[in-house]
Amino acid sequence: MAVRRKDTLKTKKLKRPLDRQWNTAVYFLRCKQIGLTLSELFCLEYGDVMDMQIEAANDHEQYDYLATQADFDNAFH
Amino acid sequence: MEKTIVLGEKSIKLRSSAATNILYKRLFHEDVLTKLTTYTKNLKELKAMQEKIQALRNDTERPKQDVLADMNELMNSDVLEVAMNFQSETLPRLAYVMYLEANETIDTIFKKLTEEQYLFWLMTIDQDDLVSVVGEVIDVWQSGAKTHSKPKN
């Protein structure tokens, strides 16, 4: 029986911008989603919080594994 | 980001944090993020307008009446009105929130976060002086808004 090869390739389709305005309501929602309180926000810079939100979004992305010495050993021995 | 700015003979300490826009919205029921976005676009339009005015000034070939008419049209555009509105309304409000953050603690800040306290504070400063340091006030916000992380997608 033929086995269909799983295609893991992804198209590099450009993402179109969203028609959603970045405002204080969305910002505060994202802050609460990552568990920040108002008193914590007092101690942080706006840029720090944006960095945290970017990294929180990056958590949902898939990353390639980096090759280890064991991988090279397996490949060449 | 914390910075001391000089208003005339008085110097005031301003501080921006991740809560500045939330406090602003709570007090003035407006969104400072959208206002700042509009103002940034407005600055670009102002720059383009200044270049056009300069080009009109240097134009010696066209009749003066036509040049003046074009200049009038430019001066009466919405671009200047948006900038004036930002400087007269949003700027002092933003400065007040930043002033509170620099000079009050988390516990006492909400007591001063009222319209009456804002109007009282406005009486203690010269608004014309504040307009002259608009860049510095915006800088307090923008310096704290720098990001270092990059989105993967």
Gap between the Cα atoms of B65 and B69, Å rounded: 6
Gap between the Cα atoms of B153 and B150, Å rounded: 9
Gap between the Cα atoms of B74 and B38, Å rounded: 19
pTM for the complete prediction? 0.80
Q: Report the gap between the CA of B63 and the closest CA in chain A (Å).
A: 45
Beta-strand pair B2-7/B10-15: antiparallel
Model ipTM?
Answer: 0.79
CA geometry: angle A27, B127, B104, nearest 5 deg: 50
User: What residues are paired with B11 via a beta bridge?
Assistant: B6
Residues of B in contact with A61 (CB under 8 A): 152-153
pLDDT in tens, A45-73: 999 999 999 999 899 888 888 999 999 99
pLDDT in tens, B46-76: 888 888 888 888 888 888 888 888 888 888 8
Terminal-residue alpha carbon distance, chain A: 32
Structure tokens at B66: 């036509």
Q: Report the gap between the CA of B80 and the closest CA in chain A (Å).
A: 24
pLDDT in tens, B81-97: 888 888 888 999 999 99
pLDDT in tens, A5-29: 555 666 666 667 777 888 899 999 9
In chain B, whose CA is at the least distance from the CA of A57?
A: B151
Torsion of CA B32, B33, B39, B43, to 10 degrees: 140
The CA distances from residue B75 to A20, B38, B69, B78, B81, in Å, are 32, 19, 10, 9, 9
Q: Are B125 and B7 in contact (CB under 8 A)?
A: yes
The answer to whether B60 faces chain A, any CB pair under 8 Å, is no
The answer to whether A60 faces chain B, any CB pair under 8 Å, is no
Q: What is the mean pLDDT of residues B9-16?
A: 91
Residue of B33, B141, B152 with shortest CB distance to A27: B33
Residues of B in contact with A18 (CB under 8 A): none
Residue of B19, B146, B147 with shortest CB distance to A38: B19
Proportion of chain B above pLDDT 90, given as a percent: 35
Q: What is the mean pLDDT of residues B99-116?
A: 92
Mutate to test the interface with A, among B3, B17, B150 (most CBs of A within 10 A): B17
How many alpha carbons lie under 13 Å from residue B82 in its C-beta half-sphere?
16
